[in-house]
Amino acid sequence: MIAPVVDANFLAAHPEAVVADVRWYLDGRDGYAAFEAGHLPGARWVDLETALAAHDQPATEGRHPLPSPQSFAAAMGRLGIGDRTPVVAYDDTGGLTAGRLVTMLRMLGRDAAVLNGGLSVWAADGNEVAYGPADPWEPDTFTAQPWPADRLASADEAAAHAAAGGAVIDARAHERFTGAQALVDPRPGHIPGARNAPWSAVLAPDGRLKTAEALRAHYAALGADAGDTIAYCGSGVSACMNVLAMEHAGLTPPRLYVASWSGWSADADRPAEQGDPFTAASE
């Protein structure tokens, strides 16, 4: 399997790779409009809402449940992604949304990686940017596979793991983690015992991922370097940055709690913790 993070040199050496633009915005901006306003040459826009999520699940499954294996396979096939097609995904936030597609593909053993730094770094390095609609492509056949249970965690598993002192890391911004800002969440706060690991903390100032050494130190400080970690966020999207960053650092990728806080907080029987007890205890 290819590395989880690659650069422009990889694309130059692998013209057979499908370049996937996975721009999606929590504030409701139009990802496809952003694509037409500038994208990597040959890229195909991936609609996170329709290709990478289901919308027929109860609220406790969160805002972006995984699609059925059959639906995901059909979406990939329509994008021209076959069983042996390498995929390089990007966005304009360093991997915040592109990481969702890459994590889903890598869970299935497929070759997929995030473009380090995304569109911003690509353009800043002087690479060509294309405009308007995508170039035409041919569909392919992507064989449906079950989502691997060992790469996923349920709400009960996340609760038990955190209660036992295991590392459960929340990729949301600190103000959402503490409950100071509820934003789109049904209730403020976080899973009791979870630790805040904002997705943005894995990026260096230039927008690329931090070095493997820096990432190992980051996760060690969170107690998330011992093997069994569960990652979540608001709806199972930004948590994928922690999944990929940990693998990039040479650590065991965490299990993904896909429903995340949007699913957890939709269940009135599940408790919500506020503040940041882990940080307070570390001071």
Q: Are residues 97 and 169 in the same domain?
A: no
pLDDT in tens, 99-112: 999 999 999 999 99
> Does 14 score more than 80 pLDDT?
yes
Confidence bin at 280 (pLDDT 50/70/90): very low
pLDDT in tens, 132-181: 999 999 999 999 999 999 999 999 999 999 999 999 999 999 999 999 98
> Does 282 score more than 60 pLDDT?
no
Which of the residues are catalytic?
233
> Does 279 score more than 60 pLDDT?
yes
Tell me what the mean pLDDT of segment 210-232 comes to. Answer: 95
Q: Are residues 113 and 236 in the same domain?
A: no
> Does 53 score more than 80 pLDDT?
yes
pLDDT at 278: 75
| Of the residues 146, 177, 201, the one at which a domain ends | 146
Q: Are residues 277 and 197 in the same domain?
A: yes
Residue 230: name the closest of 199, 204, 253 by CA. 253
Q: How many domains does the chain have?
A: 2
What residues contact 65, with CB distance under 8 A and at least 6 apart? 53, 54, 55, 57, 236, 258, 259, 263
Residue-number span of the structural domain to which 212 is assigned: 150-282
| Of the residues 146, 180, 198, the one at which a domain ends | 146
Q: Are residues 41 and 123 in the same domain?
A: yes
| Of the residues 146, 179, 212, the one at which a domain ends | 146
Tell me what the mean pLDDT of segment 215-230 comes to. Answer: 93
Q: What is the DSSP string of 71-113?
A: HHHHHHHHTT--TT--EEEE-SSSSTTHHHHHHHHHHTT--EE
Q: Are residues 117 and 164 in the same domain?
A: no
Q: Are residues 100 and 161 in the same domain?
A: no
pLDDT at 281: 44
Q: Are residues 195 and 247 in the same domain?
A: yes
> Does 11 score more than 50 pLDDT?
yes
> Does 118 score more than 70 pLDDT?
yes
Q: Are residues 112 and 244 in the same domain?
A: no
Confidence bin at 13 (pLDDT 50/70/90): very high
pTM score, whole prediction: 0.95
Percent of the chain with pLDDT over 90: 93
pLDDT at 272: 96
CATH number (domain holding residue 185): 3.40.250.10
Q: Are residues 36 and 23 in the same domain?
A: yes
Q: Are residues 170 and 99 in the same domain?
A: no
Q: Are residues 21 and 116 in the same domain?
A: yes
Mean pLDDT rounded to a whole number for the chain: 95
Q: Are residues 141 and 246 in the same domain?
A: no
